[in-house]
Structure 1
């Protein structure tokens, strides 16, 4: 890949933050996503407490992420044809309403498995439309040569919220219960909606809307297939995302049965997220994402997952969780950066959607499998097998 001009890479890790719109948008996202992780943590705890089965948590991921698998690529084409800021306003408002519904159900004692599953399905449908529009909006807030950095910082914001969200959940879930955490998530959407309204259109770098195409998804897949770097990284990313990123399914049972500390689940997510910050910022420091960086991140993720699965105690587990978070998030951030760097502006929404389908849309496959492995084979293997799969992907990336 050609080197970027020196003037285009100067400015350091946080160079995209020179744009006011980026600062405003990321601030709103940070607050809102802290609320999202409050809800994610509370949902996992609520489901596991019902009958102590990781399978139920895995099934919930199926309902939550199946819409991404089925609708994600189409949603990317939709985001390419319409105003991404407007789409994000509607979808973020809808996500707030979903959080209100879940809070009411929990407060009134109606948060049963079917109700939670149905709520997660609605959440998944809205997220499928929201994801490419919300992330695609980031590419319109910076100049083209800053997109890779902006996407990495966007990942930093998302993972940074994972530090505070689960930690806050760990502090509040005992005295307040899960219902109040759902309510707090609903309130947090005010922040991201305000940031969307405050974005100054005159300071944006919009791309022309893409005309409606008869085969928008096929065009995106054809583009990926035509580029050897994108093709190999996309295949590896899909496999790793399917089997190695199901922490939310296995960790509630792992901390309970292996280390006898069921209350440690939120704190384990927090430690993983601290590592995630390191991984995303390390990626942001690069002039642009590379295939070799993606390969290294995949290897770190695989080794760390295996080590965490058989950690002898919770202290060692916390230490090992740091590189697990760093490797996983560096993998995601570099995939986002690579895809946007090599994609023409009119196809960025579809490419973001394809990456989201690989990352989130694969969860309906990997989540239930991981839950079944935890309940039927062994909770350690439910985490370790994903690490083995990640390491098996490294050889195909060595020539990048």
Structure 2
């Protein structure tokens, strides 16, 4: 289950992530609450901050994927993490000194969003480079477990610490925690990374090659579509939880932090189950669609919980379904692509996952102002459940595709272009090309 931790490079990365991700979640909680305070508890202002943070993803993630395929990912991530540390430091100093204004927070949200747009495709595609394809599935799930463990610890610490020392110190703590990731990246042995083949263009645009690669996979297109609708309209907790905590139940920052922690308890349990599931085989589309429908149904039910306690308890199974959905989608995509295309495909995946968040953030603020603080939950739940049903119906009607969807096994590359015919395990009518044995290549062979 934890075999990837035997790899020294991944162990260094994993250790840094444990520390840094806690700091990241402390900053997220503090940043939301700071905007909420500076704006007089305005859901619209919070939606604007969220939109500014995620808008760069919609604009840059595809090109960030191209960059991840072309550059040394370790050096690229080191530079990006350094920029994130500076952003957190500036925001922390402005807040502690009492000079912070809401326009400054908006600018720094956009800076963080730009850095995150560059970071996620590189970080996602770097996982296989550290551990190799054999340990990829468990590593993706383990990263999810760390992320959601931090979602338990970070909001819990931030929610109570904000009431004691204020939001500014949360930003400074995050700046310090980012140094752990930078140290881990610098301590890695580049010669022991599992480098992919050098990316050579077939003569066209690298971005177009990546899009054509995805377009040749109907299964992959389905995953991207589901991820877009659910992440845009269903998984809006980054904005809607603060609105529910402050405007529906009348709690302070500690109440918001507790709700985030309860949601994270469910997502952490879901990520632990994902580790076990990913060691037994590749994920199936059926699991993804079932988790999507369950996420929508549970979110709809949570919206009508009458008390703060019952609402918080309802967030636990919602978090479990959310993590099952996100981990299944991530693993399906990562195990489906060839190494030389992984950065570009993950750039598109990140665009589908986060690119709709500017719309989602503004939508949450508008719905909360117009229909009440609970509305983002029941509207988002309905849209998520419908997305699962529509995709299931489409797949059932497609020739050669059944509800018992086959796991991804990748597909062939011909002169830098994707084969027009996808390959699935167990389909005797389609040729499946087994991957070559992996080996760690010297860093000089990296693109």
TM-score after normalising by structure 2: 0.84
Question: Structure 2: where are the runs of 5+ without partners?
Answer: 393-402, 406-447
Per the TM alignment, residue 386 of structure 1 is displaced from its structure 2 partner at its CA by 0.8
1:204 to 173, 193, 212: 193
Q: Distance in 1 between matches of 2:272 and 2:211?
A: 29
Per the TM alignment, residue 36 of structure 1 is displaced from its structure 2 partner at its CA by 0.8
1:271 to 262, 267, 284: 262
Q: Is the 8 A contact 2:35 2:46 kept in 1?
A: yes
Q: Is the 8 A contact 2:92 2:169 kept in 1?
A: yes
What is residue 77 of structure 1 aligned with on the other side?
66
More helix by share: 1
Per the TM alignment, residue 260 of structure 1 is displaced from its structure 2 partner at its CA by 2.8
2:147 to 158, 183, 205: 158
Q: Is the 8 A contact 1:299 1:390 kept in 2?
A: yes
Q: Distance in 1 between matches of 2:381 and 2:207?
A: 30
Q: Distance in 2 between matches of 1:228 and 1:319?
A: 38
What is residue 383 of structure 1 aligned with on the other side?
377
Larger Rg: 2
Deviation digits for residues 287-344 of structure 1, max 9, x if unmatched?
2121111112212211121122111112212221111111112211111111111101
Q: Distance in 1 between matches of 2:360 and 2:183?
A: 35
What is residue 229 of structure 1 aligned with on the other side?
219
Per the TM alignment, residue 93 of structure 1 is displaced from its structure 2 partner at its CA by 0.4
What is residue 4 of structure 1 aligned with on the other side?
none
Q: How many residues align?
A: 388
What is residue 128 of structure 1 aligned with on the other side?
117
Alignment of 1:42-57 (within 5 A): 42-50=30-38, 51-57=40-46
TM-score after normalising by structure 1: 0.94
2:275 to 267, 271, 284: 284
Per the TM alignment, residue 16 of structure 1 is displaced from its structure 2 partner at its CA by 2.1
1:394 to 388, 394, 414: 388
Does 1:184 pair with 2:178? no
Q: Distance in 1 between matches of 2:76 and 2:369?
A: 40
Tell me the C-alpha RMSD between the 2 structures.
1.4
1:174 to 159, 163, 167: 163
2:127 to 127, 135, 138: 138
Question: Structure 1: where are the runs of 5+ without partners?
Answer: 1-12
What is residue 354 of structure 1 aligned with on the other side?
348
Does 1:300 pair with 2:294? yes
